Amino acid sequence: MVKEGDLLWTPSPAFAEASNVTHFLRWLRDRRGLDFADYDALWRWSVTEIEAFWAALWTYFEVQSGTPYQRVLSSRDMAPGVRWFEGSTVNYAEHMLRFSGNGEDPAFFHLSETRPLGRTSRRSLGAQVRIVATRLRSLGVKPGDRVVSYMPNVPETAIAMLATVAIGAVWSSAAPEFGVKTVIERFSQIEPKVFFAADGYRFAGKDFPRFDEVQAIAAALPSLDHVIWLPYLNEGAELPPVADAILWRELMDHSEVPPHLFVYERVAHDHPLWIVFSSGTTGLPKAIAHSHVGALMEHLKLCHFHLNLKPGSVMFFYTTTGWVMWNIVLAGLLVGAAVVLYDGSPVHPEPDVLWRMAAETGTTCFGASPTYVQILERKGLEPGKTHDLSRLEAILLGGSPATPESFAWFYRAVKSDLWLTSQSGGTEIASGFVGASPTLPVHAGEIQTRMLGMDVHAWDDAGGDVTDAVGELVVTSPFPSMPVYFWNDRNGRRYHSSYFDVFPGAWRHGDFIKINRRGGCYIYGRSDSTLNRYGVRIGTAEIYRAVEQVDGVLDSLIVCCELPGGNFYMPLFVKLRPGTQLDDALRQRINARLRQDCSPRHVPDEIHQVADVPYTLTAKKMEIPVRKILMGWAPDKAASRDAMANPPALDAFIALAEDRRRIAVA
């Protein structure tokens, strides 16, 4: 059985030599006289000589700016308000569309449950973006105006985003599976001027019309001037009864706009690019604004060095338009790669649908969540034996901590020669803190390294560095993709309290991390959902890994509630395979596994069977809301059902809380 830290893969000399990291190392030596022995030396330079590192990237990537920057960084203080590349004027979309190749090179491959596999060339993408951008300008959209979307992961959504950004307007997106309340909570904060909306979407063979939802959302947004309507489920769908609605095909009914006649709006260093939102499981979601220059520099670095994308690469990650991973996948265009867009269930009509798509598109980098891997493993799939994955070079796991078993499955069932990457970051930075390098070996369950320019450390409660021990993930130096601000955050108080209140002068992200002596990283789940039992902190990820290896267990969730008198209540909830019941024998097997793989302190006080584990719309287990409910919070204050992927899953926890309350009263 594979163990955490086992060596699974080492890059061949040819693979490492051809990597973008190695090319950059040669460039630094030849152009700057800087000679670094390996990735670790390069990382250390990137976080100590911060200005020199990012200035080198500006030149290396040939960033196009209407005016020269005056300085790379305004201050090394790790705090909100740090300014990057002041004086520059750039446009993110301009850089995404500058790699035209021969014009017929693919920009997008796209597949959905309603449309067959299609292909959009770079020439066609540029032409469509210029038309939509020109039409938006004619509708009165100006730099700084907000444009929002309630559309699936299809080319029209990406075109709308690129067109919005191209004219300096600010983009924000919600996935069509989001409920009305969730969307209004987000979009009402930013007062959009234009609303792109689809008539619905299809998932697992079932249609979900969104006519009424679009009407309700538009009615709640008095700032709207126009709704752009995409008939997606039904090409003949009527326009919603909202003011100034325009059909997508009418928007596109415009003569071609030649590239030399189109002007990208190059904006200042702190001009907002898009607004992304925190999950919003409790309270109003945070409206997080990133800048053009910050996202551009971060995504150029990420795609080149940590995803190793190049012209000719094909990038896929299973995501929806409501998750920041959608933005990150589209960033593949920055380096001349093609991007694969998929809308629908990842296991319908067959569980191998994504692998068939990967084979047909020649995907070189395939991304999904560890949860998806567990589904495939349980179904006994071996995609490497049934599909031509000869072009596949890399795997990107993200969204939650990946287990050693997930790593081993890829090498067993997909491909033995594979650069398997697990990466971790957040919506707040639209990137990763820890990730991968194609020059380093892969160890089971381990994230290869800290990303370039990310001064990441594991700290104990006193703010001291720890190695080979679990601590708080902190970042001690500024980086370009820090939010420029939270929208409507008066005096920046919410921004500051979110990341800087615990350790002044350091960004505390809210994850538990362990960094070993070779620089490998392990993420152990959210520190704000930590199981703090009698003074011992336990990460939930290590419990899930052990429990979900027990035969019959499909999923699990654990919380720890503080009780009066210094006591604790730590229940474990398990979703079981159909036909399996939670009896004493299964409870004993679960507890024995936790004692063996973890420690006696990891054994729960109780184990309960539930029909489903509650998840957010971005596939995060809802540990904190469940904990609050069990501690007596009103359910509607503890969790927003509109921000959930499976709202009925919460009912079992509400019922348990009520039972405990009745027993306590009796």
- Whether 570 contacts 627, CB under 8 Å: no
Q: Helix, strand or coil for residue 34?
A: coil
pLDDT value at residue 255? 95
The one-letter code for the residue type at 375 is I
Q: What is the CA radius of gyration of the chain?
A: 24
Please choose, from the candidates 225, 226, 229, the residue with its C-alpha nearest in 3D space to the C-alpha of residue 213. 229
pLDDT at 379 over 60: yes
How are the residues of the chain apportioned to helix, strand and coil, as percentages rounded to the nearest 5? Answer: 35, 25, 40
The overall average pLDDT reported for the chain is 92
pLDDT at 279 over 90: no
Give residue-wise pLDDT tens across range 481-507.
Answer: 999 999 999 899 999 999 999 999 999
DSSP line for 352-392:
THHHHHHHHHT-SEEEE-HHHHHHHHHTT--HHHHS--TT-
Provide mean pLDDT across the span 274-286.
77
What residue segments make up the domains of the chain, in order of their start? Answer: 89-521, 530-665
Instruction: Considering only residues 263 and 283, tell me which one the structure prediction assigns the higher pLDDT.
Output: 263
Residue 401 carries which DSSP code?
A: P
Q: What pLDDT band is residue 510 in, cutting at 50, 70 and 90?
A: confident
Instruction: Considering only residues 512 and 94, tell me which one the structure prediction assigns the higher pLDDT.
Output: 94
> Crossing angle for the helix pair 584-597 and 540-547, nearest 10 degrees?
130
Give the C-alpha separation, 180 to 178, whole Å: 7
| Residue in this structure with the two tokens 């030149």, named with its chain if needed | 59
pLDDT at 534 over 60: no
By DSSP bridging, strand 553-558 and strand 571-576 are: antiparallel
Q: Do domains 89-521 and 530-665 have the same CATH topology?
A: no
> Crossing angle for the helix pair 623-630 and 651-665, nearest 10 degrees?
20
Burial 569-587 (b: 16+ CB within 10 A, else e): bbbbbbbbeeeeebeeebb
pLDDT at 565 over 60: no
Give the C-alpha separation, 528 to 546, whole Å: 21
List the single range of 70-74, 289-293, 420-424 with lowest mean pLDDT. 420-424
User: Which pairs from 237-242 meet CB under 8 Å and 24+ separation?
Assistant: 237/199, 237/211, 240/197, 240/211, 240/214, 240/215, 241/215, 242/214, 242/215, 242/218
Provide mean pLDDT across the span 461-490.
94
Domain covering 530-665: architecture: 2-Layer Sandwich (3.30)
By DSSP bridging, strand 431-435 and strand 442-443 are: unpaired
Provide mean pLDDT across the span 213-225.
95
pLDDT value at residue 4? 87
pLDDT value at residue 372? 87
Provide mean pLDDT across the span 406-410.
93
The one-letter code for the residue type at 397 is L
Q: Helix, strand or coil for residue 266?
A: coil
Give residue-wise pLDDT tens across range 596-617.
Answer: 877 677 889 999 999 999 998 7
| Residue in this structure with the two tokens 């919603």, named with its chain if needed | 240
By DSSP bridging, strand 338-343 and strand 106-112 are: parallel
Please choose, from the candidates 28, 78, 53, 55, the residue with its C-alpha nearest in 3D space to the C-alpha of residue 452. 53
Give the C-alpha separation, 59 to 156, whole Å: 33
By DSSP bridging, strand 170-174 and strand 146-150 are: parallel
- Whether 197 contacts 230, CB under 8 Å: yes
pLDDT at 530 over 80: no
Give residue-wise pLDDT tens across range 220-236.
Answer: 999 999 999 999 999 88
Enumerate the H helices of 115-256 as residue ranges: 122-138, 155-166, 180-190, 211-219, 248-251
pLDDT value at residue 619? 75
Residue 616 carries which DSSP code?
A: B
The one-letter code for the residue type at 510 is G
Give the C-alpha separation, 271 to 145, whole Å: 11
List the single range of 216-220, 384-388, 523-527, 573-577 with lowest mean pLDDT. 523-527
Domain 89-521 maps to which CATH number in 3.40.50.12780, 3.30.420.40, 3.40.630.30, 3.20.20.120?
A: 3.40.50.12780
pLDDT value at residue 373? 87
pLDDT value at residue 131? 98
Give the C-alpha separation, 1 to 337, whole Å: 37
Enumerate the H helices of 477-556 as residue ranges: 493-499, 540-547
CA distances from 171 to 126, 136, 301, 547 (A): 18, 13, 22, 41
Most confident of 35-39, 95-99, 494-498: 35-39
- Whether 13 contacts 418, CB under 8 Å: no
List the single range of 238-247, 323-332, 571-580 with lowest mean pLDDT. 238-247
pLDDT value at residue 204? 92
- Whether 363 contacts 316, CB under 8 Å: yes
Give the C-alpha separation, 110 to 289, whole Å: 28
Residue 303 carries which DSSP code?
A: I
Q: What pLDDT band is residue 538 in, cutting at 50, 70 and 90?
A: low
Give the C-alpha separation, 21 to 33, whole Å: 16
pLDDT value at residue 418? 97
Provide mean pLDDT across the span 20-31.
98
pLDDT value at residue 528? 66
Provide mean pLDDT across the span 528-545.
66
Provide mean pLDDT across the span 78-82.
94
- Whether 265 contacts 395, CB under 8 Å: no
Give the C-alpha separation, 305 to 259, whole Å: 30
pLDDT at 169 over 60: yes
Provide mean pLDDT across the span 87-108.
92
Question: Is the peptide bond preceding residue 648 cis, with omega within 30 degrees of 0?
Answer: no
pLDDT value at residue 643? 78
Six token digits for residue 112: 């959905």
Largest CA distance in the chain: 78
Contacts of 441 (CB under 8 A, 6+ apart): 7, 8, 9, 10, 11, 448
